[in-house]
Structure 1
Amino acid sequence: MLVRGEDSLARQLADGRQSDRALMIQRGVGRMLFGQRFSIVSELTLASGRRADIMALSPRGDVWIVEIKSSVADFKADTKWPDYKDYCDRMFFASHEDVPSELFPPEQGLIMADAFGADILRDAPEHRLSAARRKAVMLRFASAAATRLHHLSDPGLNGL
């Protein structure tokens, strides 16, 4: 689990629906992706209205979506994840060691994480976005990142 105080910014950026375990997975995946020079935005609302747990942008401009599943029940209750493939070049599930890896569809990537890092156990197949969709996704990513940074530097704007 996260160390007391270390998760305050993660909690600020989360919408309150994430469990401590989901935030732990998010942190580990974020550290791994950051180590690979990706930029990430968590809880990004897509044009479809669905929310990607993590959207990551590689130095080359590849777009990945990582869907966090913190338990077997969490995975079984989710039917929306196939929609994410329309908004990324690669789609991964991320979980932790207490969730059996066999649970996850073999046609998607798989990441196992703890609070300190993560490993890609299975790479995700590539399905390139069209140029128009890529532009729309990248604009949404950039806008969300810039808006969140601005709200952190001026928290008084949250009520405006």
Structure 2
Amino acid sequence: MFLQDCAMAHDLSATDVLRGTCRWLLRAGVNPLAEVPLSGGRRADILGVDAAGRLTLVEIKISLADLRGDRKWPDYLDHCDRFFWAVPAGLPTGDLNTPAFRPEQTGLIVADRFDAEAVREAPWRPLNPARRKAITLALARRAAHRWLGLVDPESALLGYD
């Protein structure tokens, strides 16, 4: 089991949680992309798409202060078919079981640097098809642009719309 040392939570960064969570998503058949801009000026920590075209959004929180101070997260529910919180192993998760964090609509992933585990599955809530298409196209375009930037860094000078 990857959660061997829960006392390490304070040593884990958002990048660590991102890495472990992305590995879990890949095993679950979801291709993730990090730091994805959304409409309304929001940004998803992770947005991924599965083979059926369903969108999974993950919000990473590495401290209780960060979690408790986030008032914008309900806006993310309009950009995905399911929503997960991802936290480092060892972070207390009691707040995520309260009505303010809508546990009936959100899943919970506990992660470390190497792996993750869904301790509460997120329910699927189908998006409006037109909205899903717009978000999926934007995700695909962003992923393609990032890939091109890896193989041709000068292409970034050409911009992204």
Q: Shorter-chain TM-score: what band?
A: 0.7 to 0.9
For 1:83, the equivalent position in structure 2 comes to 75
| Cα offset, 1:125, TM superposition | 2.0
**Structure 2 unpaired stretches of 5+:** 1-11
| Cα offset, 1:27, TM superposition | 0.2
Runs of 4+ in structure 1 over 3 Å off: none
Higher relative contact order (CA 8 A, sep 6+): 2
| Cα offset, 1:115, TM superposition | 0.8
Q: TM-score, normalised by structure 2?
A: 0.83
Q: CA RMSD in A?
A: 1.5
For 2:155, the equivalent position in structure 1 comes to 157
Give the % identical residues: 43
Q: TM-score, normalised by structure 1?
A: 0.84
| Cα offset, 1:102, TM superposition | 1.2
Cα contact 2:30–2:56 (8 A) shared by 1: no
d(CA) in 2 for partners of 1:102 and 1:121?
Answer: 13
For 2:119, the equivalent position in structure 1 comes to 121
Aligned-partner residue type, residue 31 of structure 1: R
For 1:5, the equivalent position in structure 2 comes to none
| Cα offset, 1:98, TM superposition | 2.5
**Structure 1 unpaired stretches of 5+:** 1-19
Cα contact 2:46–2:58 (8 A) shared by 1: yes
| Cα offset, 1:159, TM superposition | 3.7
What is the aligned residue count?
142
